[in-house]
Chain A
Amino acid sequence: MNPEHLFRRYQELQAYVGWQEGDGALIVQARPLLMPVLPAIIEDFYDELRKHPDAAGVITGGLPQVERLKRTLTGWLEQLFSGIYDQDFVHRRWVVGLRHVEIGLSQVFTNVAMSRLRQGLMMALEAHRDQVDLPATQRALLRLIDLDLAVIEKAYRAGYVQRIQRIERLATIGQVAGGIAHELRNPLNVIRTSVYYLRNSPRLTPEKTAEHLERMDKQVGLCDVVITALSNFARLPLPELKPVVLGEFFAAILDRSPVAGQYALRIDIPESVPPVLADNSQLEIVFGNLLRNACDAMPDGGRIAIEAVRTGDRVRVTVRDNGPGIAAEHLTRVMDPFFSTKARGIGLGLPLSRAIVERNSGQLTVESEPGRGAAFTVTLSTHQQAP
């Protein structure tokens, strides 16, 4: 957060806790009374710290670190009583919170430590009640400490969120790298061994040469598919929504890439189902994926059904198979990126399909019972408005 913005926020908080014009002056006035008790408060702070395993674990640098931290804490307290609560002051408070995230000191400990500090300071003031306007000075000091706590907590939160996001990002990169590595290394493996064969075979025939060149070409294509899938996912273009007549749409898909002979395909799209509003080429990717998944689930063949039903101004298109189904523990994860149960699968088909369907103002849902097949349903808007 930039220091100016932070300072404005601090000023808002000052108003909120009722920070008064003269509060700063009261604290400066009490400063000579408070300074002598600081060493005791700081000692108490570190004694407490040592008693709590979670907090003590933060001290990894031994005594030298504790000495350093004591000096930091002293500086922090001295600045608290300086009476100058400007942008620089607020920024330093903020840095304390960030530092706590860095070293892994829970905010709970900060809250408790601040409570002890508060008590220590209040007692010091009470001991000199004859030298200060006790209620006003105590109120000023409490407000000041509350403000500090607010800034530190806010910084802690911001730092914590950032840290979690960083960890998640790294985990995702790891997953992506793993998935891509596998999917690219397999074709590379074929290419490399073909190159070796072509270079070293003692009885290389023109037929064998052609066979291996063709194989290499095919495998380069597979690498390209992986990279295309990934970049498709990275930048999904805005859909061009146009009416799509489902009967014609599926006839075209199946004409271009028919399902293999071992699958019995049934298409049930009643005349009464109106065209849907979607991007034709994006929808092709979605149903291409769903049909491919259905086939992959039943390598030895099986039944696949494509059914369309109108409900109000929506059309539900279901791709159903009678394969082994999806285990309950996988059902919620099948649409997560890089989740795959296939031996060869990068795990982008369903998440990409879902992203596409959602961009086309639709939903992709799945139902399955192990042993009883799986059904993926794409719900889209109709072209016509409901009567």
Chain B
Amino acid sequence: MSDHRRRILVADDDVDACQNLRDILTDMDYVVEVAHSGEEALAWIERQPFDVVLLDLRMPGMDGITCYRRLRQARPETVSILITAYATREAEQEAEFAGVARVLSKPVDPRRLLPMIDTAVRQPLLLVVDDDTDLCESLWDILRDQGYRVSLAGSVSEASRRLHDRSFDVVLIDLRLPDGYGVSIAQRVRATMPEAHVVLMTGYGRELREIVGDMGLPPPECVRAKPIDIPRLLADLRRVTT
């Protein structure tokens, strides 16, 4: 990638509010894009990944929370900060329930917002590749709470797309996927992101450890048997990301 600057999307129908955040964030060396509606924000997200999305709760057409849900679907690793002029307790709770990173009320104090963005962009990026949607969602919740940004893929082809879009710090791969073996993903990560750590997950235990060796793949840092031992996984992640 030629430009290593962090990318931020500001979505607010208030043009001046967007312009101000663009000015402030550009000064901080972020790349800033602007959307004036939920639909526009989603169009941006579909085109390219962002590190952080600032979402106004009330915009014409799609509201901020619906927009967040779709955004989370499209690019689960994006950190969203919801900004609202209402700041009622209900809106906050709904947003928290939906998994929005943070809720800030207008008028936004940049002295609070900027550290939040700074923290978010430093969080390690993880990709979880598994066709078990429930496992993916649980891992997303658990890992998000632990301060990781988590992307999800349910197949080899989806994982390829994710890996093409951005680089990851850690890639967790299930060995059996509907359209092939996770090993091919591991190989690709090895080839294109030498710094990334790979964790293989398997329901078949010992045998697959041998298969992995037979295929001539450099031994992954960890092969973890399913069901995943979460405390151990978290310890692995802490070790490889710090």
Contacts and interface: CB of A to CB of B under 8 A. Distances in A.
Interface string A218-249: 11000000000000000000000000000000
Given A182-B58, A197-B20, A192 B109 contact: yes
A200 B20 contact: no
A345 to B, nearest CB: 10
A147 interface: no
Contacts of A344: 13-14
Contact of B60 (A189, A190, A343): A343
A215 B20 contact: yes
Contacts of B111: 196
Contact of A194 (B20, B85, B88): B20
B204 interface: no
B211 interface: no
A200 B14 CA distance: 22
Contacts of A190: 14, 16-17, 20
Contact of B106 (A188, A201, A215): A188
A177 to B, nearest CB: 10
A256 interface: no
A131 interface: no
B85 A191 contact: no
A208 interface: yes
A212 B14 CA distance: 15
B85 A185 contact: yes
B108 A189 contact: yes
A178 interface: yes
Contact of A197 (B13, B24, B85): B24
B86 A218 contact: no
A203 B17 contact: no
A208 B106 contact: no
Contacts of B108: 189, 192-193
Interface in A172-198: 178, 181-183, 185-186, 188-194, 196-197
B59 interface: yes
B21 A181 contact: no
Contact of A343 (B19, B20, B58, B106): B58
Nearest to B104: A189
A215 B16 contact: yes
B180 to A, nearest CB: 45
B27 A200 contact: yes
Contacts of B19: 215
Given A215-B20, A342-B60, A343-B60, A189 B27 contact: no
Given A186-B85, A201-B27, A208-B23, A192 B107 contact: yes
15 contacts: A178-B88, A181-B87, A185-B85, A185-B87, A186-B17, A188-B106, A188-B107, A189-B14, A192-B107, A192-B109, A202-B27, A208-B23, A343-B59, A344-B13, A344-B14
Given A181-B86, A188-B107, A192-B107, 16 more contacts: A178-B86, A181-B85, A182-B58, A186-B14, A189-B14, A189-B17, A189-B85, A190-B14, A190-B17, A192-B108, A193-B110, A194-B20, A196-B111, A197-B23, A200-B27, A202-B27
The 7 residue pairs across chains A and B that have the minimum distance between CB atoms: A193-B20, A189-B106, A185-B85, A192-B107, A188-B107, A189-B107, A185-B106
